[in-house]
Amino acid sequence: MSDEIDGYCDPAFAGVRDAFAENFARGEEVGAAVAVFVDGRPVVDLWGGVADHKTGRPWRADTPVITFSCTKAVTAAAALRLAERGVVDLTAPVRGWWPEFAAAGKESATGEHLLSHQVGLPAFDERLNAVDALDPAAMAARLAGQTPVWAPGTDHGYHALTYGWLAGELVRRHAGKPVGGYVAEEIAGDLELWLGADDALIARTARLTTKPLTPPASGPSGAGAGGATPGTPRLKGPAAEMMAAAADPDSLMNRATGNPVPETGGYNDPDLLRGGWPAAGLIATARGLAGFYRELVGGRIIGTDTLRAALTPRVSGRDRVLIADSTFGLGFMRPSTVFAVPGDTAFGHTGASGAIGVGDPERGLALAYVPNRLGGEVSGGMRAVRLTNAVYRALG
């Protein structure tokens, strides 16, 4: 497969190319791309495989794909940019700019609670679909009227989809436009990333699939690939709880990650792609997503002091939704069980497809990996782990 990988790789980062090729050789990829900047300089820009398994359309240098929860970092950056400009005080109660949100015991909720998964609204109470989600104001209004699962600020749990319409309402009310419009005007610039797609972009976006294009050449197909075998010990503790939650359609995990749901086509649904879901709808190339982190680390989206403050962990420990340990600043994941990145100064976000975006101010690093084959993980996966480990090894 290494002969079918296109693009550029600095010789010092040859291990990243090897790890990228290994993911294909294991049968874990259909199409994917990875990009890395160090101190603003591109050192890796690789792509390979198939963008559409139904037509055989190849993955090209400018092939974008939906990146799932990697979106949250972009939405958070939009909110932080507004706060930095003095438009909103994130430490103040949300009720000051969103009076309706004070309902049902949420009077003390702050902007920081919205951005750090502490507000207690990880799932919608009613069943919704991709057409419902085209109206961000209506989605936010539904959440404003809900009773929180826990009192804001007393616990944390991953707001897989609701995060976008909570943090997004902060942007919409203070910028006068949805997150996608604000990102296009204030953040994206020349970066290949979009939150809300037109028909032309949808047509060239990679198609998601859960099936491998070819079986692995040899060996296991990676994390989560196989079931239990005779003699395998039963899982215990958090691992067993995670498996049980994943298998229970009424668990908080499944209610948080599975609603709203597209009517047809899963995350290939054109209504979903048009809607630019602000927690999970970002369409980007690897180069575009890595470029976003390059700009963040370089202080060009928000100031370095604002970024440093945002990276200060607000919550850490057992996640009410993911069960595993998670650590969050304001919108960004920090190293934890669900953000398995070697650098202790790293930040970023994973996506349910296995995608990841990473920044590391101490190392001048910006990294993104975007696939179109969905993994079985709620957050991250071994494909991304191999790539990020290879990058850090190259950095020394």
Mean pLDDT in runs of 10 for the chain (396 residues)? 82 98 96 98 98 96 97 98 98 98 97 98 96 96 98 98 98 98 97 98 96 56 34 64 84 95 87 95 98 98 98 98 96 96 95 96 98 78 96 97
Q: What pLDDT is recorded for position 242?
A: 78
The catalytically annotated residue of 69, 326, 353, 379 is: 69
Sign of CA dihedral 340, 291, 360, 363: positive
Q: What pLDDT is recorded for position 265?
A: 81
DSSP 78-104: HHHHHHHTTS--TTSBGGGT-GGGGGG
Give pTM, 2 decimals.
0.93
Task: Show the tokens assigned to 2.
Answer: 């290494």
Q: What pLDDT is recorded for position 377?
A: 63
Q: What pLDDT is recorded for position 135?
A: 96
Yes or no: say if 320 and 149 are a contact pair by the CB < 8 Å rule: yes
> CA-to-CA distance for 41 and 322, rounded, in angstroms?
35
> CA-to-CA distance for 318 and 325, rounded, in angstroms?
4
Q: What pLDDT is recorded for position 97?
A: 98
Residue ranges per structural domain of the chain: 71-199+260-395
> CA-to-CA distance for 197 and 184, rounded, in angstroms?
11
**Is 59 in a helix, a strand, or coil?**
coil
Domain 71-199+260-395, second-level architecture = 3-Layer(aba) Sandwich (3.40)
69 is catalytic: yes
End-to-end distance of the chain based on CA atoms, in angstroms?
27
Number of Cβ atoms within 10 Å of the Cβ of 56: 9
Asked if omega into 249 is within 30° of 0 (cis), the reply is no
Q: What pLDDT is recorded for position 214?
A: 63
